[in-house]
Structure 1
Amino acid sequence: MGRLSFFLLALLAVVGFVNASSLTIQSPRFTISSSDATQLRSEQLSLTQKPDALKLGAKDALKLTFQVVDKEEGKGLQPHQTFLRFYDEVSGEEGIQPVKVTASGKAKFELNMARPPLSIPPTTSANPLKVTLLIGSFTHPPVKIDLFDLFLPESLPAPQHPEEPNFHLLPEIHHTFRPDQKLPPKFISAVFAAAVLGGPWVVLLGLWTQIKPSTPRLFSPHILPFILSLTAFEGLLLWYWVALKLGDVLLYGSILGVVTAVTGKNALSTMSDWRLAV
C-alpha cells in the first residue's frame, strides 16, 4: 500500500509539472557602447529570429536586459537558475555566465571587454560565439532561447610562466658505451697467474738456499707452522679470486696475519739459534 501511494504521488507530480505553465522573457534588448559611453548599437531582440551578428571591440561593452514572466499569468517571477551560454561550434569549447534576476523577474547582464570574465572560451576573429539563454525552475519546464551570435576580439596567448621551459620535452639522451673489454688468451692469463702465485715461493726458496738449511730442520715444528701459514695466505687469495667477498677476506686475513706473525717470529728465533750454534 505504501509503494502504491508513493507511485500515485509521483505520477501526480509529473502530471502537474507537464501541465504547469511555461516561462518566457519579455522586452529583451541589447546595447553595445564604447569605452567613452557612446552607444554603438541598440536593438530589441526577437524570440523567433536572431539579429545580425554582434561584434565587440577590445574596449566595448555589451548590456543585455529582459524580464522573466509566466506565459499564462504574464507576471514576472524569479527562476531558480538563469545562465548565458557562450559556445564555439568550431572548437567545441563553452563558457557559462550566471545572470542575476530580481524577484520581479527583471534581469540585467553586462559584458565589458576591458575586463572579460575568465569563463569566456578562447575566441578567434573568424568564428562567432553562439549566445544562448538558459532558465531553470523547480515549478516550470526549463527554457532555452538562442539570442544572437557574438564576435569578440581574438584572444591573446596565455602569458608564459617563468618556469615553463623547465617542463618542456628535453632532447633525447643517447649514451655511447665503450666496447666490451678484450680478454687476453687463456695461456697468457695462466702464465701470469702462476707468476703471481709462485713468485713469492721462488723468492723464499732462493733465500732459503742461502742459509743452506738441512731438510729435517725445514720440517721442524718451529719452522713448518710458518710455511703452512704462508700457504694458507696463498689459498685465501685464490679463494677470494673465485668466490669470497672483500669483507670475508679481511676477516680471514686478519686471523691468518696474527698466526703468521707469531709463527714467523718463532721461526726467525729458531733459525738465529741454529746459526749461532753453527
Structure 2
Amino acid sequence: MLLVNTLLLLAATARASLLTLHAPRVTTYDSTGAGIRTEVLKLTEKPRVPLALGPTDSLKLTFQVVEEGEGAKGVQPLQTFLRFYDPKTGEEGIQPLRVTPAGKSKFELSMSKLPPSIPPTTTSPLEVTLIIGSHKYSPLKLELFDLTLPQSHSAPEHPDESSFHPLPMIEHTFRAPNKLPPRPISALFAGLTLAPWVVLLALWSQVFTGVPYLFSPSILPFITTLGAFEALLFWYWVDLKLGQVLLYGGILSVATLFTGKTALASIGARRVGRK
C-alpha cells in the first residue's frame, strides 16, 4: 500500500511539473487601431490561415504561463522566447519575452518599427514558435501561428559568406620549360667549343711523326691519364659536382705524376742512348 501511495505521489508531482498556456490570444490591428483579426490559439494546432500584416499594421500576442492541471497557477519561467523562422530561406530570429510573476506576458509587433529579431522576409510566411524553459518544469515548445509580413530587402551578406561556398578548382602552375636557342646558333657555339680539338689534332698530326715511341708501354700510361683528365672535365660539365671533381682529380693527379715521371725518364734514356 505504501508503494502504491508513493507511485501516485510521484505521478502527481510529474503531472504538476508540466507547463501550459492559459488564454493565448493574437490580434492584428490596422493603422487606426481597429482590430482586423483575432485568433484564440489552440495548443494542439495552429490556425490554418496565416496571419497577415500590412505595411502599417500591428500585432498583439497575450498569454499566461500556468501549471498544467487544476488550479491553473501562474508560473514565471526562467526563459521565454518567440522564434520566427522562414522555412524557405532558413533565416530565423529569436525574441525574448518578459513574463510577470503571475505568468502573464504580452508581445506587440508594429510594422512601423520592427525589432531586430524579425529575419528578412519573403513571400512565404514565418513560423512563430513559443519556447519556454525552466529548471523546475519540463521545457515547453508550441507552434502558435504562421505570420505573413511585407517582403523585405535581402539579408546583408556576411563578410565570410564566400568561405562557405565551393571555391574554384585549384590549378597548379608549373614553371615554363627553359627556352632553347635556335639550332643554327647552338651548332655554331658547339663548333666553337670543338674547334680547339680540331687545332690540337692538326698540330698533333704534324708532330706525331717525330715522336715514334708515343704509344710505347712507358709513355702510353701518361697519355691515358691525360685523356682521363679530359674525360673528368667533360663528366663534370654533364653531371659531377665540384667536390667530386676535386676528389677524382686528386686521385688522377697522383697517377699522372708517376706515369709522367716514368715517361720522361724513358724519353731521357732514349735520348742519352741515341747520343
TM bracket (short chain) = 0.5 to 0.7
1:47 aligned onto 2:41:
yes
1:156 to 2:153 alignment = yes
Q: What per-residue deviation string (whole Å, max 9, x for no partner) do you get for residues 90-122 of structure 1? A: 56765443322122222233446555435x555
Contact 1:29–1:42 under 8 Å retained in 2: no
Of residues 80, 83, 92, the one that matches 1:85 is 83
Q: Identity percentage over the alignment?
A: 40
Q: Secondary structure at the match of 1:230?
A: helix
Task: Structure 2 unaligned segments of length 5 or more: list them.
Answer: 178-193
Equivalent residue for 1:147?
144
Query: Structure 2-normalised TM-score?
Result: 0.57
Question: RMSD of aligned C-alpha atoms?
Answer: 5.4
Specify the alignment match of 1:187 in structure 2. none
CA distance in structure 2 between the partners assigned to 1:230 and 1:33 by the alignment: 111
Does the 8 A contact of 1:45 with 1:51 survive in 2? no
- Supply the distance in 2 between the matched residues of 1:202 and 1:10 (Cα, whole angstroms): 119
CA pair 249-130 structure 1, distance change in 2 beyond 3 A: same
Q: 1:173 and 1:47, CA in 2 relative to 1: closer, same or farther beyond 3 A? A: closer
Q: CA deviation at 1:44?
A: 4.6
Aligned length: 245
Task: State how 1:13-28 maps to structure 2 within 5 Å.
Answer: 13-18=10-15, 22-26=19-23, 28=25
How far off is 1:17 after superposition?
0.8
**1:255 aligned residue:** 250
Aligned counterparts of 2:202 and 2:35: Cα–Cα separation in 1: 113
Where do 1:175-254 residues align within 5 Å? 202=201, 205-209=204-208, 212-215=210-213, 219=216, 226-236=222-232, 245-246=240-241, 249-252=244-247, 254=249
**Contact residue 25 and residue 40 of structure 2 kept, 8 A:** yes
User: Does structure 2 retain, via aligned residues, the 8 Å contact 1:23–1:69?
Assistant: yes
Q: Is the 8 A contact 1:225 1:263 kept in 2?
A: no
User: Letter of the aligned partner of 1:232 in structure 2?
Assistant: A
Give TM-score scaled by structure 1 length.
0.57
Question: Against the structure 1 CA distance between its residues 227 and 131, is the aligned structure 2 distance closer, same or farther, given a 3 Å change threshold?
Answer: same
> Which secondary structure state, in structure 1, belongs to the residue aligned with residue 40 of structure 2?
coil
Runs of 5+ consecutive residues of structure 1 not aligned to the other structure: 179-194
Following the alignment from structure 2 to structure 1, what is the Cα–Cα distance between the partners of residues 258 and 115?
A: 96
Q: Equivalent of 1:99, from 94, 97, 100?
A: 97
1:73 and 1:61 mapped to 2: Cα distance? 33
**Closer, same or farther in 2 for the Cα pair 1:140/1:174, shift >3 Å?**
closer
Cα displacement (A) at 1:240: 6.8
- Residues in 2 aligned to 1:264 and 1:74: alpha-carbon distance in whole angstroms: 121
